[in-house]
Structure 1
Amino acid sequence: MALDWKSVESFSKQLVKKIHLDGINSSYAIAGGCYKSIITTRPPRDIDVWPYSENDRTVIVESLIKSGGVLVDDNLFNSRFIVNGNVVEVVCKKSNNFKGVFEYFDIALSCVGASFESGFFTESFVHPLVKQSVANGTPLLIIPMPNMPFLLVTLERVKRYAQELGFLYPKEQVEYLKGKYYEQPIEKRRMLLENYELVTGQKYEGF
């Protein structure tokens, strides 16, 4: 199935039903790598929920718990739940609207999502580079990268996306990111390593 606006709408509606967020009194986006499942037909690795306000986040968390969701991790970036066998991550970053959510994505195949107002679908978005990514068989980067402090996280994610989708090893993207890393002064490289460990809980093992 093509990864386009219509398939994103249909898939998103299925997701929110699975995790019991359909019809709740909250506004949010579902966005990120979960939409790769439209291509692979495999269940998503996780489902990222982006609330538009702190009140929206509270309603979402309460709804997940009420529907039997189990909180398994709570950190600076998200609150992670298991809901009906699905990993659901309620993001802590504040995005006041649908457009704002996509300011955080460095990979075109992540820059996909759907917006829900008061729990009901309103619109979907697919980055223009998604079609080219699929046609070329490589996870294209969004340049300039909006999320440079997490460059190493993006580097590992690019490699993982290629593997999950059966794409060729993304040599051009990896070399670009490595080059950006080595352009940085030592202090910034140290920060990039620390950010990687903060996000993944693991030390970066190198290139």
Structure 2
Amino acid sequence: MTEIHWQIPSSVTRLLEEAPTDRAVVVLLRHSVRDHLPPGDAGYVLPITDIGRRLAIELGGLLRGRLRTLHASPLVRCVQTAEALAEGAQAEVAVIPNRLLGDPGAFVLDGRRAWANWEQLGHEGVMHRLVTEAAALPGMARPDEAARFLVRSMLAAAAAAAGEPGVHIFVTHDSLVTATAARLLDKELGLNDWPWYLEGAFFWATGDGLHTAYRDYVAVHEGALCGLTKSDVIEFARREVATTVGLDTGARFFLAGGAFKSLLTGRPPRDLDLWAPSERDRTLIVDALRARGAKSAGPRAFADAFELAGRVVEVPHKTEPDTLSERLARFDIGLSAVGVEHRPDDTWSAIVHPLALESVRRREVRLLKPLVNWKYALTTLERMRRYARELDYSVPSDEEAEVWRVFESQDPALRAGLVERYQRTGSGGFGVMEEIACRFP
């Protein structure tokens, strides 16, 4: 194979010319030229070729003045492609590794289980299933939910990069480009539609919705990419559990609470709360975390906390209640009353409180009343304000008034106890202590 066979795909140069310049444009790009993969080899350490590097530098030149961020699958050929793009663009842009782009990628939850699909079906067979089927293959995510989650995450990463409008490149592999483009275009892309090296799908948001462009195909997706639907909630839980404790704990547990805000923000969760309904289940969870290399995150008042895969995983000491519905009934904020139950046979179910859905519809942070955890009302107030900032929602005045009504209805000793609990469990931000000082000088 000689150098003349390879060039920057014409679809990419055309879409770069046609893409808007007044907003963020996300490009999910296949890596540059590599040598052939040996049979049965995933090519984890296979680099790009000299020709591949030259082409990536050339493409980077077309991005000069427009390149804003670079993200890449951790695999070496993707990182090398991103570095060459930065060199060609003459941009001092760091390459940010992102495991949604590969190793394992957005469509894979458990690499060991998933590899069996490639052995059984072959690459073309797996790609066909990712493009056409709704159900998840063993060890893999449901394709539609995974594609929407990936695009939502890329858009959030682009939005988080403050600065001028421009192009944000996410370097990945052919399977992710094909499956993601197919799902967002709502088109069954076939073998002839697989991307060439350095070919990709373009995404940008306008008032009309999310625009997707790949080769000559275009589509506009109206409405939110992800939300608190049961299918999105379960797939999010499966991904987070696979990333942290793994799918083989043999434990029954609930993932519940504020982590599901990630479906609304596109940003990864800061922490996960895994609630075990029995001591045996709790032991299995803790043992699984330690076996996967989790480190202690320091003492917590009500839980053991571990750091793993960029998350803080908290496993509460109490092993009750026994059902997910009872667990959700103990939250005070509607947006927290979202949860998934995992059972030892690897089946999953979800409950989304109606107030969580109403909160999303109204873009408000609302309380579940009466407050079950009224002794921690000030911590709840801080959390409401934090949720509002993270989601760009509002906190209705009557909701804050309910917290202060609970606080002010207590005698001085109980009010002092509420303040002490807040100082012990809150972060101390969002003006709560300052407001107490104003209300009770």
TM-score tier, shorter chain, comes to: over 0.9
State the secondary structure of the residue aligned to 2:283.
helix
Which residue is equivalent to 2:319?
A: 94
Which residue is equivalent to 1:111?
A: 337
C-alpha spacing 1:152/1:41, structure 2 compared with 1 (3 Å):
same
Which residue is equivalent to 2:236?
A: 11
Q: For the aligned residues, what is the CA RMSD?
A: 1.7
Q: 2:178 aligned with 1:178, yes or no?
A: no
State the secondary structure of the residue aligned to 1:104.
coil
Equivalent AA in structure 2 for residue 188 of structure 1: L
2:249 to 12, 18, 24: 24
Which moves more between the two structures, 147-156 or 113-122? Answer: 113-122
How far 1:169 moved relative to its partner? 4.4
Q: Deviations over 1:76-96 (max 9, x none)?
A: 311111111111111123322
CA distance in 2, matches of 1:179, 1:134: 25
Question: What percentage of residue pairs aligned between the two structures are identical?
Answer: 32
Which residue is equivalent to 1:83?
A: 308
Which residue is equivalent to 2:425?
A: 199
8 Å Cα contact 1:28/1:51 also seen in 2: yes
C-alpha spacing 1:193/1:172, structure 2 compared with 1 (3 Å):
same
How far 1:202 moved relative to its partner? 5.3
Normalising by structure 1, report the TM-score: 0.93
| Ranges in structure 2 where 5+ consecutive residues have no aligned partner | 1-225, 436-441
8 Å Cα contact 1:49/1:88 also seen in 2: yes
Which moves more between the two structures, 84-93 or 34-43? Answer: 84-93
Which residue is equivalent to 2:416?
A: 190
CA distance in 2, matches of 1:60, 1:49: 8
C-alpha spacing 1:3/1:37, structure 2 compared with 1 (3 Å):
same
* Residue correspondences, number: 207
8 Å Cα contact 1:69/1:81 also seen in 2: yes
8 Å Cα contact 1:48/1:91 also seen in 2: yes
Q: 2:292 aligned with 1:67, yes or no?
A: yes
Where in structure 2 are the equivalents of 1:134-145 lying within 5 Å? 134-145=360-371
Which moves more between the two structures, 67-76 or 32-41? Answer: 67-76
Which moves more between the two structures, 136-145 or 171-180? Answer: 171-180
Which residue is equivalent to 2:131?
A: none
Name which structure has the greater RCO, CA cutoff 8 Å, separation 6+: 1
C-alpha spacing 1:164/1:202, structure 2 compared with 1 (3 Å):
closer
When Rg is computed on C-alpha atoms for both structures, the one with the higher figure is 2
Equivalent AA in structure 1 for residue 434 of structure 2: G
Which residue is equivalent to 2:278?
A: 53
Where in structure 2 are the equivalents of 1:24-43 lying within 5 Å? 24-43=249-268
CA distance in 2, matches of 1:40, 1:49: 21
Which residue is equivalent to 1:44?
A: 269
CA distance in 2, matches of 1:17, 1:79: 19
Q: Deviations over 1:115-138 (max 9, x none)?
A: 011162331010011121011111
Which residue is equivalent to 1:129?
A: 355
8 Å Cα contact 1:24/1:119 also seen in 2: no
Equivalent AA in structure 1 for residue 324 of structure 2: F
Q: Deviations over 1:131-188 (max 9, x none)?
A: 2101111111001111111111101000000000011244332222112211111111
CA distance in 2, matches of 1:77, 1:52: 15
Which residue is equivalent to 2:65?
A: none
Normalising by structure 2, report the TM-score: 0.45
| Ranges in structure 1 where 5+ consecutive residues have no aligned partner | none
2:376 to 134, 150, 168: 150
State the secondary structure of the residue aligned to 2:340.
strand
CA distance in 1, matches of 2:426, 2:227: 31
C-alpha spacing 1:201/1:2, structure 2 compared with 1 (3 Å):
closer
8 Å Cα contact 1:162/1:170 also seen in 2: no
CA distance in 2, matches of 1:161, 1:73: 24
CA distance in 1, matches of 2:297, 2:412: 35
